[in-house]
Amino acid sequence: MSLFKKIFSTQKKESLDKGLEKTKTNFLSKLSKAVVGKSKVDDDVLDNLEEVLVSSDVGVNTTLKIIDRIEARVSKDKYLGVQELNVILREEIAGLLSETNTGNETEFSVSLSRKPYVIMVVGVNGVGKTTTIGKLAYQFKKQGLKVVLGAADTFRAAAIDQLQVWADRVDVPIVKQNMGSDPASVAFDTLSSAVKQDADVVIIDTAGRLHNKVNLMNELTKVKRVMQKVVEGTPDEVLLVLDGSTGQNAFEQAKQFTKATEVTSLAVTKLDGTAKGGVVIGISDQFQIPVKYIGVGEGIEDLQVFNKLEFVDSFFSNKE
């Protein structure tokens, strides 16, 4: 099928396949059980498929949307066989992802129509936020871009230390203050330093807690406002990092953060250690925010640009 032609490099594709192995095995196993003994797609098959999708962390609302689309196709072809269900499901999920993830990128890139390009990263502690920032810095630097990190998660000494480790590893400058400092002050200093250095990309870490939605909203709003005093219109991107292995809990985190600030893109991490990769489909659909990056392993190269066609291809890949 030409729609699913390979556009990733072999190495990246193998990494993606490996990272989604648990999700794929779990999903295809459930799918095969859902159609056992059936020759055509009927109400029983659709009911079973609904259960498979929900139990694969696709989410109820997104599942119902997929089922409705398949029902519409079944109604046109009364004799649709179960052997075609895999292909149809694959097409409908790709179509659903295409509504939010309109691009077809395969490489890390930012717009440099205005410098620096500022990414504010949000997400709760433990989701892989700092690691994602470090891996992004590595990818951007690899392209020859000048990157500056800002340690504005000042409520945990460990957060500052962890970001410093990544800054040292990638060999990029970091702006930080002492634990307990005003996060907005760190963001201000980071942008000021980046402008002086003629940096291309600035990545700002922020506090990873959901202790109080109002406080979180006020803090993130203040960080934005202060950054805009240095570079008008910043941040260019607010990236929410979610842990894919938490399944439905990731939906709740997305709900809280999208209420607290205007999230423009998503990174879903830790997909390699879970069978809950279906959460990528549901979150992208329910929040209408593009998934920009996915984490499919612990290696520095295992943060990938999310490509909807390659993701679906790996999700349904049935090769041994």
**135 annotated to a ligand binding site:** no
**72 annotated to a ligand binding site:** no
**171 annotated to a ligand binding site:** no
Can you tell me whether residue 114 is helix, strand or coil? coil
| CA 198 to chain CA mean position, Å | 29
**207 annotated to a ligand binding site:** yes
**206 annotated to a ligand binding site:** yes
Residue 61's nearest CA partner among 255, 246, 245 is 255
Angle, to 10 degrees, between the axis of helix 129-142 and the axis of helix 157-170? 20
**144 annotated to a ligand binding site:** no
**76 annotated to a ligand binding site:** no
**130 annotated to a ligand binding site:** yes
- 57 conformational bin, left if phi > 0, alpha if psi -120 to 50, beta if neither: left
**209 annotated to a ligand binding site:** yes
Angle, to 10 degrees, between the axis of helix 60-76 and the axis of helix 43-55? 150
**292 annotated to a ligand binding site:** no
CA distances for 59 relative to 42, 73, 100, angstroms: 22, 21, 16
**126 annotated to a ligand binding site:** yes
Q: What is the CA radius of gyration of the chain?
A: 21
Prior bond to 183 cis, omega within 30? no
**223 annotated to a ligand binding site:** no
Measure the CA–CA gap between 56 and 247, rounded to whole angstroms.
9
**47 annotated to a ligand binding site:** no
User: Residues within the annotated binding site?
Assistant: 123-130, 205-209, 269-272
User: Residues within the annotated binding site for GTP?
Assistant: 123-130, 205-209, 269-272
